A and B are shown apart, each in its own frame.
Chain A
Amino acid sequence: MRAVAYRPTPPPAWQPRTDPAPLLPDPEPFRVLGTEAAAGADPELLLTLWAQLVRGRRFNAQATALTKQGRLAVYPSSTGQEACEVAAALALKERDWLFPSYRDTLAAVARGMDPIQVLSLLRGDWHTGYDPYEHRTAPLSTPLATQLPHAVGLAHAARLKGDDVVALAMVGDGGTSEGDFHEALNFAAVWQAPVVFLVQNNGFAISVPLAKQTAAPSLAHKAVGYGMPGRLVDGNDAPAVHQVLSEALDRARRGDGPTLVEAVTYRVEAHTNADDATRYRADAEVETWRRHDPIRLLEQELTERGLLDDDRRRAAAEAAEAMAADLRERMNADPVLDPMELFAHVYAEPTSQLREQAGQLLAELEAEGEAR
């Protein structure tokens, strides 16, 4: 009998579904500042970004100071990462949705939200101090990457409804190791949901450096496995982040599906005020990154182009100071809390058990009041 080589016909699922080459990120992070692209950048946009960076830096400093005064329970600072935070907020249209992580308070503030409402979580007066529907901003997510599938579901729902709404979800480098990161990107790509994922690779997940987090060529490369484009951008170059995010958001808006953007940046401060970064990294490394500071980089460009005069500097500094003073003043007042509200938002209608417990607390409060 003649031996015939068995050659199965590959079923359709075996065919490559996507050409991976166009999805691959560029080998070097995209930059605008200090490159030829800078000349083409819109001066108004550059100045808006700059003023917001100055305000953002001041916000971070003020929030950190408030932890020392006991007015904030904790503050995870985005100092050094302001370009990502500000560019994310400015790239969105008002009707779009933002899904921030706990370090992205500045993005919410740059979206125009009241800082004191944004800081509710970290002040400890309520978990989410703002109305998510007012500024189309989801609650700050403390559990890592869990907000990403929410962004996918919301974007998917918006598309089903025929609304011109896209979602931008923010996550850190550590968060990319979570299962929810994987599931969100996979769902987004399969559904072609109008969503953009912004990974701020700030080098550390608390103390653990990126090398212990992933063996991928870059975090942007992870996109290819899902069948979506990955973009790599200098996260300290505000106009570059703004451009890459705007392109990705436009792409989503056109119905061409999701994009993963990795912004390479650095967490200049410790994880939070409660962390000691000297235990896991050298000062010299921090200094290197301080020289690649987002505000300094942008100021260089603006100065060279003669766009930044003393009046503008003064106005930006004064606006930032006024924001900080207002925040300080309002934070120094004790918030008015109603303990009975503890039972108000567990269910649409409290259960009989919760009504009973509310009665118990009310009696305790009344007894306290009488004792005083």
Chain B
Amino acid sequence: MASTPPLLSVRGLRIEFGTDQGPATAVDDLSFDLRAGEVLGIVGESGSGKSVTALSIMGLLPTPPGRVVAGEILFEDSDLLKKSRTDMRKIRGGAISMIFQEPMTSLNPVFTIGDQLTEAVRWHERVGMAAARGRAIEMLHKVGISSPERRLEDYPHQLSGGMRQRVMIAMALSCGPKLLLADEPTTALDVTIQAQILDLLRQLQEEFRMAVIIITHNLGVVAEFADRVLVMYAGRTVEHASVEGVFDRPSHPYTEGLLSSIPDIEADVLRLTAIPGTLPNPHELPPGCRFQPRCTYARDECAAGPPPLVPVAQSHLAACIRHTGYRRGAAAPPAMAGVR
């Protein structure tokens, strides 16, 4: 597994946003690898830096105010951050494409579905209108839209939210991307539609054999879809492991909190456990571990410095002082709270 070179390798990525109160760090020293055909879930609350990470991979970070201040994003061994605007444009919608959270507003209201679907193919592959139209019909078919020929003439306002998200997916996949970034693709949809869209994405991922980064705040989505999970908190990775690893042996108090806030129908307890407190203000980040003000295990040492991301098991990284404490042999590990 480790012998295959990664398709995407993010190394030490640091993104800042210029604000009136000075620069605010949105993403801090983020690193991860993604192999071809692999599905990575990035999980965290709003404002934890998930979407910003995806936008920076696409080269769509709104600059200013956003700015990548350090790190590299290697895609097929070349740094996307060093590419020219023209080269980046050829990659966007081609080898890497993205779908967004809001299907209601992500399609242009004044152009037909057909127009918007054929556009990417015409620009990336320089094919004629007829060929592009054929591809659009094929893609609409693949995403489960009935009578696609007729739908091409429709405007976005004539479609439901679920249909629009299917169109967005068709659009993103029309040039056969190697990497798909899905930013909360189901959050804005009805629950029943969410499951359909997720099934569709999984099915298409297998069919196209593409790598997917799925960004979500919902661990349930990750459990269904992803191979690996990266949990972000206030711009930093707090835990990075396989889906099984995270669910069976959550090794960061924040992950534990996320897991216990998933509603469990079979549980006897009816109350949902919410993590107390809110994400820190990026201008007033707590010293040391950023989760420490909300953490039930917090000790004085937590404020001393940022806890390093250390292996706690095979391919399982976590950034909590409890693990480094254990590795140093200073104290016995506190019992892992079994959440499940």
- Chain B associates with chain A: no
Residues of B within 8 A of A (CB): none
Residues of A within 8 A of B (CB): none
